[in-house]
């Protein structure tokens, strides 16, 4: 009987993929925003003056380039703003190689920059995207001007040890088959200190894009392949001036982690935001963007 109840529940909550063309009609600004990079059909938005200094934006796990909408709008008057959906996220196709390691993500990013003849760029990365950003800055310092890390991932936490593949819970793997919007919303709400920031429009966007064909398989693969390394030796190698932006009420990657970064990074400044959670760019753009803009436009 318990098995029957579980099967019935899964059938009732079964969540199929959405139609790719329908998603593109809703979330693709222009057909030319889909480009081939190392075998991946990558979703890229490139705005602002093409001869201005470039800034690349990398979203966090389960997110998409739309997370940067307010910041991109505020920066694109003076900077060339390039936003991407990482492979298997948003409107970017899953990676046919099946490789979702940080090294593969960095290779794709560098190939995209080469395609666009961008030798150096500043990088903004949030959460998982922050980890990819600081790893790129540490391993390819010649490509990075400035670094903005928004609640970056990278230090070990319960369930994530250095040098080991994480044990992805079976319940998380079930999202491949069942991901009702109400359940996703319930799991997203703790990311915001202000519950009103989790609007229905925002929840719908997250939900829709997670239902892109192949996206959930890619998310699970990315989790399984996220092998952390001790970040301190890499962080100490970073030469780019770095701005840390962190919500003090971050329930995903706690604000206390900021101290680990300020101790390890040679040249950094911290912006701490009271009453803000894990997504300052979405929850409080009017407060989080000005210091980022000043930092990126500063001649220092």
Question: What are residue 204's phi and psi, to 5 degrees?
Answer: -65, -45
Residue 201 has pLDDT above 60, yes or no: yes
Distance CA 242, CA 265 (A): 8
Residue 211 has pLDDT above 50, yes or no: yes
Q: What per-residue confidence (pLDDT) applies to 13?
A: 76
Q: What per-residue confidence (pLDDT) applies to 159?
A: 65
Distance CA 58, CA 179 (A): 24
* 12 pLDDT tier (thresholds 50, 70, 90): low
> What is the DSSP annotation of 202-214?
HHHHHHHHHTSTT
Residue 8 has pLDDT above 80, yes or no: no
Residue 243 has pLDDT above 70, yes or no: yes
Q: What per-residue confidence (pLDDT) applies to 5?
A: 45
* 3 pLDDT tier (thresholds 50, 70, 90): low
Q: What per-residue confidence (pLDDT) applies to 7?
A: 45
Residue 147 has pLDDT above 80, yes or no: yes
Which one, of 251, 294, 286, lies nearest residue 269 by Cα?
Answer: 294
Q: What per-residue confidence (pLDDT) applies to 4?
A: 47
> What digits encode the pLDDT tens for the residues 90-128?
999 999 999 999 999 999 999 999 999 999 999 999 999
Burial call 227-259: b when 16+ CB within 10 Å, e when fewer: ebeebeebbeebebbbbbbbbebbeebebebbe
- For the chain, which residues make up each domain, given as ranges? 15-66+75-297
Find tokens 């000005």 and name the residue. 290
Q: Structurally, what CATH architecture does the domain formed by 15-66+75-297 represent? A: 3-Layer(aba) Sandwich (3.40)
Distance CA 22, CA 183 (A): 22
Q: What per-residue confidence (pLDDT) applies to 62?
A: 96
Residue 300 has pLDDT above 90, yes or no: no
């Amino acid at each position: 009987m318990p098995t029957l109840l579980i099967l019935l529940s899964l059938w009732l909550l079964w969540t199929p993929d959405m139609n790719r063309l329908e998603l593109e009609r809703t979330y693709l600004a222009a057909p030319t925003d889909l480009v081939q990079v190392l075998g991946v059909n990558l979703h890229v938005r490139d705005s602002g003056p093409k001869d201005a200094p470039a800034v690349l934006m990398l979203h966090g796990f389960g997110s998409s380039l739309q997370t940067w909408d307010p910041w991109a709008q505020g920066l694109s008057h003076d900077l060339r703003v390039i936003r991407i959906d990482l492979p298997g996220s948003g409107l970017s196709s899953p990676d046919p190689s099946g490789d979702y390691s940080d090294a593969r993500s960095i290779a794709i990013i560098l190939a995209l920059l080469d395609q666009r003849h961008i030798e150096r760029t500043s990088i903004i990365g949030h959460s998982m995207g922050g980890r990819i950003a600081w790893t790129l800055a540490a391993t390819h310092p010649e490509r990075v001007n400035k670094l903005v890390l928004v609640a970056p991932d990278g230090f070990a936490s319960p369930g994530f040890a250095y040098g080991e593949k994480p044990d992805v819970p079976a319940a998380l793997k079930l999202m491949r088959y069942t991901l009702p919007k109400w359940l996703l919303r319930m799991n997203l709400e703790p990311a915001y200190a202000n519950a009103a920031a989790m609007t229905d429009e925002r929840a719908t966007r997250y939900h829709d894009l997670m239902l892109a064909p192949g996206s959930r398989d890619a998310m699970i693969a990315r989790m399984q392949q996220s092998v952390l390394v001790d970040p301190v030796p890499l962080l100490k190698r970073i030469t780019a001036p770095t701005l840390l932006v962190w919500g003090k009420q971050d329930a995903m990657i706690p604000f206390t982690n900021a101290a680990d970064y300020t101790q390890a990074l040679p040249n950094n400044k911290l912006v701490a935001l009271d009453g803000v959670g894990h997504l300052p760019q979405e929850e409080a753009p009017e407060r989080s963007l000005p210091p980022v803009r000043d930092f990126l436009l500063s001649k220092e």
